[in-house]
Chains A and B, each alone.
Chain A
Amino acid sequence: MSLKLSSTLNTSRRSFSPPLFFSNVKRTPISNIRIPRNRSVKSFTCVHERNPEPIATTSTKLQLLVSEFDSLTEPIDRVKRLLDYAAVLPGLDESGRVQAKKVAGCATQVWLEVVMDERGRMRFRADSDSEISKGFCSCLIMVLDGAEPEEVLGFKTEDLTEMNVGVGVSHVGIKAGASRVNTWQNVLLAMQKRTRCLVMKREGKVFAGCNCFN
């Protein structure tokens, strides 16, 4: 039996065009973004200060992300896009990659840092030993970084399955469900749990199961 082993993979160097989310924008690591003074903002996105873009809501950001991935029909293209997102994630240094910040339940190692800024909005940083997981984290942070706690807590994993990326999700968009390798779900749940913890801490309450490390 002859086997056609033609290459299906374009291993040419990666695209240097930033993800759609960052179009018309210079890549700016999240940690270097300055919040403009004397401006009331509900949320912020990664924008270059010389080209102020309209502030996007969480919902808008999600829709942009979904439509971006929707347009990529081949798995390899979705993975490439995830790797592009991984590349713009600042990551954590050694002091951040600690057990206390680990996200439970992932097949890869994922570390997550959650803080509430002075305006009461949630800020996230993440890292992983897997590039695809970093990409997932990057996407989640794109959508949720700077959001109000209620927006973070109201976000559902079903919102992510439309993106049709990742382990356990088929072309027909079947929900990845409770598989142990569902990074999306585990990271989002960790974001939400730690957000809940910080909210309660702010209100002077204790959340059962909270082991706030910040």
Chain B
Amino acid sequence: MKFRAKIIDVGCLNHFTRVVNTVSRLTKACVLRLTCDHLYFVLSGRVATGGVSMWCELSQVNFFDEFQLEGVSADANEIFLEVAPENFSRALKTAQNAKSVKIKLTKKTCPCLTLAAELPSLSSVSRVVTHDIPVDVIPRRLWHDFREPQMPDFDVSIYLPPLKTMKSVVDRMKNLSNYLVLEANLNGEMNLKIETDLVSVTTHFKELGNPPWGDDGSQSSSPTHRDPDLMAEARVDIKKLQQFLMGQQVNPSKAMCNIVHRRILHLIFLHEDVSLQYFIPAVE
């Protein structure tokens, strides 16, 4: 198994760092899946994480100048590593002005992702900082746990309101209740609701727009004669929603959510070269 990659462009490095920072705020540990064309940060839904799952996909060509991978075997040319994204984040943090950053899979006392950054220095010879990030190699028989999630048959798909606004609303609601109901319809309307014994608060958003699914193959199976005013809702743990909104460092060009009525909240952020999907299960 071999992996080497190199980033030279400062913009790419900053962008990659922001993606890693976002992932590190969502989860303490995740799986890094490497293929010849993509990197994926994967968190599969487990009871321990409250059932949330995450799928973050990067197209490697948009970040790395060099990218060489030799996977587990010829017919399974991929590598799956368990890593703490916070370590990755910390390693990248002080390398933001590096001339180049090399990442490779190494074996020290344990398998590591070694990040070596060449930094500007006062002399003709560059300063080199090396970080060894411990990783666990995931054996092939467990790979099926980390497959790309299927697009659920959603009932409503809607663009999210400006994230800043949404975040401040959710922050305030968190003080009042542990659970939040997100409901939306095909008329571009979304409500965020909390309800306790003492108080109920609803924030209404209008004219958000609904993404035109249809050309993708991931079309909702229910035909388009759903009543546009009919709300689909999901009641979720407010902390999980807040955690997702808090961590965002990448300003997505498209932010939307798909709701499977009373089942799942599926949040999707798209940027030119990065896509981030986050699934929050609904609770009763």
Q: Do A and B bind each other?
A: no
Which A residues have a C-beta under 8 Å from some C-beta of B?
Answer: none
